[in-house]
A and B are shown apart, each in its own frame.
Chain A
Amino acid sequence: MELLVNISLLFMLSLTVIAVVRLKSLFAIVMLFGIYSLLSAMIFIALDAVDVAFTEAAVGAGISTVLMLATLVTTGRWEKKSSRSSFLPLLIVSITGAALVWGTLDMPEYGNPDNPAHHHVADRYIEQSPEEIGIPNMVTSVLASYRGFDTLGEVIVVFTALIGVLSLLQVRTPPSVAETPLRNENRKLSRPYPVLQVVALVMMPFIILFALYVQFHGDFGPGGGFQAGVIFAVAFILYTLTYGLDDALALTPVSVLKALAAGGVLIYGGTGVVSMLLGGNFLDYNVLSSNPVSGQHIGIIVIELGVGITVASVLICAFYAFMTRALPDQGQKG
């Protein structure tokens, strides 16, 4: 049964890829990429990697689809015809693909429990983490504690991405306070999307509540700072899409988002510095409390909070930057 599910998911994945290659409408391709991510998330669930599946569904199918669509508004919806011959690229791709397939022949047998991947450090994590960290979700203890350095690096990568986006695209400054009452009057007269705005308003509290649940329940179930940050950002993106960029910028000013993005990294790195000041190594949470296990709990919750804050504010801010490009004249109309 599981084999059947795996085969059909893989088949659908290949079909999606073929459709992406053959289609010329970029809009349809972006949508297919969303489907691709959703299918990969299902494959991850079939492989029992729920945390990865969660991230793939939230980031791949959710946020990146929205960002790609915002990009499409500025670039146009159809792929340009290439005049070059496709023979040489096809040759290179075939050779590379063949080399990769040949390379997999040297890989250890699939699913063999004696493979090095299952014995390098995994044994120690599985056997020791209940005593050393004491939280039920082993993925979180590996991500936040054993591999705290790597996760810090990931958060800094996310932050750097924001710096890159902001230095390439400018975010429109929020509307000044003086003109806001008049705009409010205008909005009462002509609600542009009544149904969508009401549904978005009903959904937003639940989305944010779910984000907080994912954030703080990450020790016990699938979830954590990255997923929670993405879900949090989705709530504000929904608000932007239904109420307009100006309202969203008034709600969450870019200056605040920038400060939060940096603050999240600071919380993460600061936890490491605090643990150093208390006599441990960098990001060694054992010293944060008199009991090493509760010290680990405190450390993990704090750094996950930092991750969540950074991811959420970076994604919201990047989305604003894209939307500023996509709707340059919205301020004059509204």
Chain B
Amino acid sequence: MDVVTDLISWIFLGLGIFLGLTGAFGLLRFPDFYTRVHAASISDTLCTACFIFGLAFQSGFNLVTAKLFIILILLWLTGPAASHALVRAAHTAGLKPITENSD
């Protein structure tokens, strides 16, 4: 394993961990439903992307990397769609987002 690719891989993995933690904190700390979904959707998309890039650098050019990228495409399709469905359902059910003049 080349030192440079290892380093890049670990940078991506570290970024993924950071974004995952950000998403978790946001989910717990944000004031209303919509901002919480926003936080959770970060760990759905960018966080998993960072993990998969990091793992791809770990494995090099082979079948595993190809599979990892297929997983990434799948997650990028379904994750935002799920967040969208969640927010849309909440909006249809009449949940109002917090705005500047709501209090």
A interface residues (Cβ-Cβ under 8 A, vs B): 193, 195-196, 199, 202-203, 206
Query: 15 A-B contacts, Cβ less than 8 Å apart?
Result: A193-B85, A193-B88, A195-B81, A195-B84, A196-B81, A196-B84, A196-B85, A196-B88, A199-B77, A199-B78, A199-B81, A202-B77, A203-B77, A203-B78, A206-B74
- The number of A-B residue pairs with CB atoms under 8 Å apart is 15
B92 to chain A, nearest CB (A): 10
Interface hits, B44-91 → A, CB 8 Å: 74, 77-78, 81, 84-85, 88
Residues on B with beta carbons closer than 8 Å to the beta carbon of A193: 85, 88
Q: How far is the CA of A199 from the CA of B81 in the complex (A)?
A: 7
Q: How far is the CA of A333 from the CA of B50 in the complex (A)?
A: 44
Q: How far is the CA of A196 from the CA of B87 in the complex (A)?
A: 12
- Which 7 A/B pairs are nearest by Cβ-Cβ distance? A199-B81, A195-B84, A196-B85, A199-B77, A196-B81, A195-B81, A202-B77
Residues on A with beta carbons closer than 8 Å to the beta carbon of B85: 193, 196
Please report whether the interface of chain A is mostly helix, strand, loop or mixed according to DSSP.
Answer: helix
Q: How far is the CA of A199 from the CA of B78 in the complex (A)?
A: 7
B41 to chain A, nearest CB (A): 13
Residues on A with beta carbons closer than 8 Å to the beta carbon of B84: 195-196
What 12 additional pairs, Cβ within 8 angstroms, besides A196-B85, A202-B77, A206-B74?
Answer: A193-B85, A193-B88, A195-B81, A195-B84, A196-B81, A196-B84, A196-B88, A199-B77, A199-B78, A199-B81, A203-B77, A203-B78
Most chain B CB atoms below 10 A, which of A193, A199, A202, A206: A199
Q: Give chain B's interface residue range (CB within 8 Å of chain A).
A: under 10
A297 to chain B, nearest CB (A): 27
Q: How far is the CA of A202 from the CA of B74 in the complex (A)?
A: 10
B76 to chain A, nearest CB (A): 11
Q: How far is the CA of A193 from the CA of B74 in the complex (A)?
A: 20
User: Across the two chains, which residue of chain B brings its CB closest to A202?
Assistant: B77
Residues on B with beta carbons closer than 8 Å to the beta carbon of A199: 77-78, 81
Residues on A with beta carbons closer than 8 Å to the beta carbon of B78: 199, 203
Residues on B with beta carbons closer than 8 Å to the beta carbon of A203: 77-78
A121 to chain B, nearest CB (A): 36
User: Across the two chains, which residue of chain A brings its CB closest to B88?
Assistant: A193
Q: How far is the CA of A196 from the CA of B74 in the complex (A)?
A: 14
A333 to chain B, nearest CB (A): 14
Q: How far is the CA of A210 from the CA of B88 in the complex (A)?
A: 29
A174 to chain B, nearest CB (A): 26
Q: How far is the CA of A199 from the CA of B73 in the complex (A)?
A: 12
B14 to chain A, nearest CB (A): 22
Residues on A with beta carbons closer than 8 Å to the beta carbon of B77: 199, 202-203
A194 to chain B, nearest CB (A): 10
Q: How far is the CA of A20 from the CA of B30 in the complex (A)?
A: 25
User: Across the two chains, which residue of chain B brings its CB closest to A198?
Assistant: B81
Residues on A with beta carbons closer than 8 Å to the beta carbon of B88: 193, 196
A236 to chain B, nearest CB (A): 17
User: Across the two chains, which residue of chain B brings its CB closest to A242?
Assistant: B85
Residues on B with beta carbons closer than 8 Å to the beta carbon of A202: 77
A155 to chain B, nearest CB (A): 31
Q: How far is the CA of A196 from the CA of B81 in the complex (A)?
A: 6
A296 to chain B, nearest CB (A): 30
Most chain A CB atoms below 10 A, which of B74, B78, B81: B81
Residues on B with beta carbons closer than 8 Å to the beta carbon of A195: 81, 84
Residues on B with beta carbons closer than 8 Å to the beta carbon of A206: 74
Q: How far is the CA of A204 from the CA of B86 in the complex (A)?
A: 20
Q: How far is the CA of A35 from the CA of B59 in the complex (A)?
A: 30
User: Across the two chains, which residue of chain A brings its CB closest to B81?
Assistant: A199
A239 to chain B, nearest CB (A): 14
Q: How far is the CA of A195 from the CA of B82 in the complex (A)?
A: 10
A301 to chain B, nearest CB (A): 26
Contact with A along B20-39 (1 / 0, CB 8 A): 00000000000000000000
Q: How far is the CA of A206 from the CA of B78 in the complex (A)?
A: 12
Q: How far is the CA of A151 from the CA of B78 in the complex (A)?
A: 34
A327 to chain B, nearest CB (A): 14
A188 to chain B, nearest CB (A): 20
